[in-house]
Structure 1
Amino acid sequence: MKERYYLAREDILPEAILKTLHVKELLAGGQAKTVNEAVAIAGISRSAFYKYKDGIHQVNQLDRERLVTLSLLLEHRAGVLFKVLGLIAESGGNVLTINQSIPLQGTANVVLSVETSRLHDELSGLTAALESVAGVSRVVVIGQG
């Protein structure tokens, strides 16, 4: 069954949903260190929190959670990775993780996790721009989420 989503005004949401959001805000903001502490502050049971936590998100939070994993084959030359990272930043992407293999036969595989909610262009535009960087042999999107 396909998931369906709705946008609803805060004032019509049930109290348990609002308290679940409050617990998530307490944890994200560091006002509570554990779920036990946060649910006590918010006045909701742990079971209610766990029931709703994965099904309710603030709209702006969903926008920030668009991730893509890129695999790039780079020539082993000074500055190539620097240019790639700079291009991603200039495009509005935010690099979250970098994993690079040891260069073999003059090339290295680099896997990047990039948060893409603020890209100035479509992902295909970013990958095309990355492919045009001198020293980049290949760019493949290996995951989106």
Structure 2
Amino acid sequence: MKRHFLMVDAAVLPEVFLKVLKAKELLASGEARNISAATRAVDLSRSAFYKYKDCIFDARSTQQIITVLATLLDENGALQALLGGISAAGGSVVTINQATPENGAAKVEVTVRTDTLRVSIEEMLAQLAQQRAVVEVHQGV
């Protein structure tokens, strides 16, 4: 599914969208140490934050954020290796969500700032796909 972006005046948006943006700003600036603290500071549920965090961006922001979706083998160090690969490519991890492993594998969602990448997003994903514990990896939409 191809993404379709719109520019909308913030004044007409539901308050939840503005709170998600503010929470993301608190996380990016370091004013909030984690998602729980950021959502508490803006009076937003964590579930609403997770629902919208990858879909709402400030048009003034020059940093690009992507979501890396991966399936990892349920082995010690698999997540650490994935995160190390992202870091080695110059990406900066913003959030990590990992599901409980089922049938020997776990789904992982990593939000990554790409403004400091030393390789293209495609190259980073190709490098991550070469890791032994990575079953599948792709960019989220």
Query: Do residues 116 (structure 1) and 114 (structure 2) align?
Result: yes
CA 1:102–1:96 in structure 2 vs 1: closer, same or farther (change >3 Å)?
same
Counterpart selection for 2:79 from 81, 85, 95: 81
Q: Secondary structure at the match of 2:81?
A: helix
- Code of the residue aligned with 1:84 in structure 2: it is L
TM-score of the superposition, structure 2-length normalised? 0.57
What pairs up with 1:82-101 in 2 under 5 angstroms? 82-101=80-99
Secondary structure of 2:140 counterpart: strand
Matches of 1:101 and 1:75, distance apart in 2: 12
State the number of aligned residues.
89
**Which whole-Å deviations, capped at 9, do the CAs of 1:48-81 have from their partners, x for residues lacking one?**
xxxxxx66x4xxx51xx20000110000000111
The alpha carbon displacement at 1:29 in A equals 9.9
**CA-CA distance at 1:140 after TM superposition:** 1.5
Larger radius of gyration: 1
Who is 2:41 aligned against?
none
Return the letter of the residue paired with 1:90: A
**1:25 matched residue in structure 2:** none
Cα distance in structure 2, aligned partners of 1:92 and 1:68: 13
The DSSP-based 3-state class of the residue aligned with 2:86 is helix
1:29 and 1:129 map into 2 onto residues whose CA distance is: 29
Give the AA of the match of 1:79: G
Cα 1:29–1:115 change in 2 (3 A) is closer
Which position in structure 2 is the counterpart of 1:140? 138
Q: What's the Cα RMSD here?
A: 2.3
How far does the alpha carbon of each residue in 1:108-141 deviate from its partner, in whole angstroms, 9 at most, with x for none? 0000100001100100000000000011000121
Q: Measure the CA separation in 2 of the matches of 1:67 and 1:99.
A: 15
Work out which of the residue numbers 104, 107, 121 in structure 2 matches 1:106.
104
User: 1:66-77 counterparts in 2 under 5 A?
Assistant: 66-77=64-75
Q: Whole-Å Cα distance in 2 between the matches of residues 112 and 137 of structure 1?
A: 15
Q: Which amino acid aligns with 1:89?
A: S
Residues 1:29 and 1:108: Cα distance change in structure 2 (over 3 Å): closer
SS at match of 1:120: coil
